Structure 1
Amino acid sequence: MFWFLLIALVVVVTAVALAVVGGGDGPGRTATGGLADAPPDRPEAWLPPDRPVNRADLEALRLPVAARGYRMAEVDDVLDRLGAELAARDARIAELEASLAGAQAASMGRDDLFRKPGDTAEESR
């Protein structure tokens, strides 16, 4: 009985090994006969590299989940990118607001808005 079980075990292991290694172009197999590579089990944290991030990009963003939460490196990359873009936008807004204030002052004919207190018109020219 022992020899029968041992031979049956060898036959089953051999059959499974042949099924995995060889077997043609069935579903899930490559042209060389081996198993095809599995697709990645986690989505990429994708943000467009060639343009600023917009609301739709953030709504579509899905961060990959690890065993104990989110993957820290990918979350840090996303937060760094968003922080840099927000800082650039804040700087641009401040620049445009200063430009608008200067244009409004010039249109009102008040050049004294840009002088320091105590300066006279002759000193600033």
Structure 2
Amino acid sequence: MFMFLFLVIALAVVVAAVTLAVVGGGESAALPEAEPERLDDPLPPDRPVGRSDVEALRFPLAVRGYRMAEVDDALGRLGAEIAERDSRIADLEAALAGARASRRGMDKPGEGDHQ
């Protein structure tokens, strides 16, 4: 009976010691917080994002990571769509400038207005 009690107490001490070792044993033994990896944002703050900005964008890897091919495909598509959008905007701005210039030419007083 004495031996059984001794084994139960010894087992309880071992379990407590292992638990304290795993948990950390208190505040003084706690590990410092690790800083998470952050994306060094290379996107320009002073101008609109362009296709080359998207193509140069790279994300840091984490423990679980990400599927690089999928992210690269998505960034490629975004870059192409941004380039297409920028081209369309430039075309529309040129057409608008041409229409304004044409209208200014027609609105000049004295040309075609004889009263």
Q: TM above 0.5, one fold?
A: no
TM-score of the superposed pair, with normalisation by structure 2: 0.44
TM-score by length of 1: 0.42
